[in-house]
Structure 1
Amino acid sequence: MAAGWVRLALLAGCVLGALSPGRAQAARTYSREANQAAAAAAERGTADIEFRIAKLNQVWDKAQRLQLSPVKQAELHSDLKIQEKDELNWKKLKADGLDEDGEKEAKLRRNFNVILTKYRLDGRKDAVSLDTNYVKDSMDSENDVFDDPKLEKLWNKATTSGKFNDDEVRKLRREFQHHQDKVEEYHILRETVSRNEDIHQNVISPSEAHMKEDFLHSKHAELKDKHRNVQASFERLRTLIHQGYDENSEFSEPRVLELWDMAKRSNFTGDELDSIKEELKHFETKIEKHYHYQEQLDLSHQKLKHVETIGDKEHLSRNKEKYAMLTEKTKELGYKVKKHMQDLLARLSKGGLSHNEL
């Protein structure tokens, strides 16, 4: 019996060895055994297991090795929690045969790639560029570098114009980052469509070809929508730089403004729009609270490093407790904000918010 297990182990090793490095990694990452082990460890309460899915733990471990700033780590944790929830829900759908065309699976892969790109965990940036500080980035334009040259040029124009005070620069930085996230999502979707077009050329079965054509048609439509959205977002930034912030505007947070514009373009009644506006006000308050904890977390991190150099054990213990509390609170709020955003987008895109949802 033992010899049989040895032969199986050797066979598995040969199979993995025959794969390319990328595929071998994928085989390890997506193996059922690894995911089951991660889930079992999570249920046992193992301290070093954050997620029930192996690949998410690998991303989390890599981020910690690369020493992302505390705020970035908290943000990444929230994104991975959302990804985990969506992937676990998808597994249930797949078991019930409700994703035959693979559309939901493709969306999950794209969302995962967006996370890797957003936090520079896709291997295209070195570790030095990862250690960014949220508050410093918000206030120091010289350290803000955007991938898009047009965006970087517009940012430099905004921060040298003298038109915006410190609070407005902070809000403006959020808008620019929000736009860059959209651009990255657009490029990832475009790469997805391009890869599927290449695969489509090699499809033999007529039924497979028809399914792939339907898939590509939906992806091209989504790609056009995202491209229009990116263009509209950039035009908003240009207008904002030229005119400044409108003091009479209903909202100031870019994600809330986007949702409010979506609501106004839909066929809602006046009463429905009033209900949506109240919901969005609550959402904006939640976002501002999240930003507040991000700033407090960063300040706590700086203070903790200072206390560590002094060597005062009593102060160090208190600061570690506060830092741990702020870390967990920032993660919690980050998850709630992103989940709320996800829910609002889904509900608004369906045409309304029912009264029991408000």
Structure 2
Amino acid sequence: MFNIINLLCFSIILGISNHVYCHNKYAKEANVKEELPDTETDFRPISLKHLDRPFRMAKLNLLWSKAVLRLSEPKLKMLFGELKLHDKEEITWKHLRAEGKDKDGMKEAELRKKLMTIMENYNLLDQADSVHDPNKARPFKPLNEASDKHINKSLFKDKKLNKLWEKAETAGFTQEELLALKEEFGHHQDKVDQYYALLHDVKGNPDNTETNSVDDSLDKYNEIELKEDPQPDKNGYLDKVNMLRDKHKEIRDHYDHLQILAAKGPASKEFVEPKVQGLWKIALESNFTPAELESLKVELRHYENR
């Protein structure tokens, strides 16, 4: 599957590159020696100035919002690259801190010094106080990061469904679109409830820790074997087991469908890197199956994190 997805990705990139090349080849400017467009920016917005909150760290998004008002496009490209690297370092440090490491604060001080150097290099030192003020940086959280204050985390009983709803609420849908999407999510919760009602009938009362969450743990219920019921099928046990499997597949397929719907919001940002986000948008508009899209998403995440 991964080989197929890689081939599809390559075909998309190659097709777009060939289109750009063929258009330029026969233009009247073809005889003038000039630098071809950088393939690294094929999928970027028309201008980096149009990027809104491209980083995972709110303080870097705050700094970026100031930089786009001052710097030229070439300098913005250089700054963007440096801040992308710094963004990853900050995220890594946050994970280390959560694990109880960097207790002496040495790494934190090093990152702070690096960021100050970046600001100095681009004449942005006057923004240092704002960048390091959590209250001023808070409004610049990434667009794909849900706010605890505005999201009802228990809107649905299913945990995965709630997480997907959080993404949908910040994906830029209109109120009418959100209402329609909420109705679709409600239908999915109904399917989950029906599944567990049937599961209760087949297996008895399942462990409460496994209910209210549609994930891969449900697969184990597809492994119900005849040895569990050696007696004749007096109560339609096998029919119920088959129905359970069908319901499970229906839930998985419908969840895949909801994922695609939620990702189509105008402000949806599955990825931070503009080029990768561009590839993902192209994939969503193509005729990939949910399984192929999921594999492609994994591949793109690997690519983005390289």
More RCO (CA 8 Å, sep 6+): 2
Common fold, TM-score beyond 0.5? no
What TM-score, normalized by structure 1, do the two folds share? 0.25
What TM-score, normalized by structure 2, do the two folds share? 0.29
Between structures 1 and 2, the one with greater helix share: 1
